[in-house]
Amino acid sequence: MVRSIRPVRVNHMNVVLRDHDASHAHLGECYGAEFMADMPQKEFHASLVEMGRVIFELFVPHDYLICSRYGPHYLGLEWQADMDDVRAAIVGHGLGIVRDIGHALHTDPADCFGVSHEFYGGYFLDRDWPLLGGTIKPAGYWRDEHPLGLTGLKGYTHAVEDIAAASAFLQSFLTAEPVYEADRPEIAARAIGLQVADAVIELLTPSGEGAIRQYLNRHGQGIRSTVFGVRDIAQARSYLTGRGFPCAAGTSDGSIAVPAEANLGLMFEFSE
């Protein structure tokens, strides 16, 4: 029997951006994001930032030429999981690995419907971070004191061509549990929600010509947005519009989105 992985939680979202310093400035000024760790490497400049107890690892190539046609994008995300289970499941599912540093690895996105799943055995939120002089801000600060009212990660949206095959893969590989199916007529899409650890993956496939068909034509399969929880959607909208962001309707009913073109090339969504 092919082994499945049971992730404990999402550690961080992985993104590829163009300008390291400008990206940090944008996230800090617009959302109050904290700069947690600086990890320059010979291949790229990596770093960690956090907002609302949602962590992003930024990967910024030193020479952006090889990424320029695709542009800024979600590479994937890192799950906390048992690494023996991870390696056995990857072999059992016949998946490629694009980066393996021993204690962590990244799957080949070509084998995972456009998403590179990174795995690591440790946890991030409870550590001391020298750049912060301690731990990250508590959940109560982001929920009750920061004007955006963030309550943590709800999940992410993932655009795919074959939603049934993608759902079956995630159920087999990540022990995903189906929690809903829905129509998304505003973006001409069908959705399947899958619970994996502390996150809901919303798979989206086109039901006609619309935003998801356009996304797939431009980017191919992959993560379309990060979905943050908020205490009050009206409060979040007021904060975002006050910062000059154009707020569009989000993927799910009642949610709002900051479009990628106004946000470093990354779509953020907010939902109660």
**DSSP conformation letters of the chain:** --------EEEEEEEE-S-HHHHHHHHHHHH--EEEEEEE-SSEEEEEEEETTEEEEEEEESSGGGGTTT-SEEEEEEEE--HHHHHHHHHHTT--EEEE-SSEEEE-GGGTTT-EEEEESS-STTS-BTTTTBSPPPHHIIIIISTT-EEEEEEEEEE-S-HHHHHHHHHHHH--EEEEEEEEGGGTEEEEEEEETTEEEEEEEESSSSHHHHHHHHH-SEEEEEEEEES-HHHHHHHHHHTTPPPEE-SSTT-EEE-GGGTTT-EEEEE-
Tokens of 119: 């795995």
**Contact at 8 Å (CB) between 36 and 212?**
no
194-226: pLDDT as tens digits:
999 999 999 999 999 999 999 999 999 999 999
pLDDT in tens, 16-48: 999 999 999 999 999 999 999 999 999 999 999
What's the whole-number mean pLDDT along residues 255-259? 98
| Segments making up each domain of the chain, as ranges | 9-120, 150-271
Tally of CB atoms within 10 A around 140:
8
Q: Is the domain covering 150-271 a CATH 3.10.180.10 domain? A: yes
**Band (66; pLDDT cuts 50, 70, 90):** confident
The domains spanning 9-120 and 150-271 adopt the same CATH topology: yes
pLDDT tens profile 147-169? 999 999 999 999 999 999 999 99
Is residue 209 within 8 A of residue 163, CB to CB? The reply is no
Q: Which band of pLDDT confidence, cut at 50, 70 and 90, is reported for residue 2?
A: confident
* Predicted pLDDT of residue 183: 97
User: 96 falls in which pLDDT band (50, 70, 90)?
Assistant: very high
**Position 113 confidence tier, pLDDT thresholds 50, 70, 90:** very high
0.85 exceeded by the pTM?
yes
Label residue 105 by pLDDT band (50, 70, 90). very high
Could you tell me how far CA 62 lies from the centroid of its own chain?
22
Please name the CATH architecture into which domain 9-120 falls: Roll (3.10)
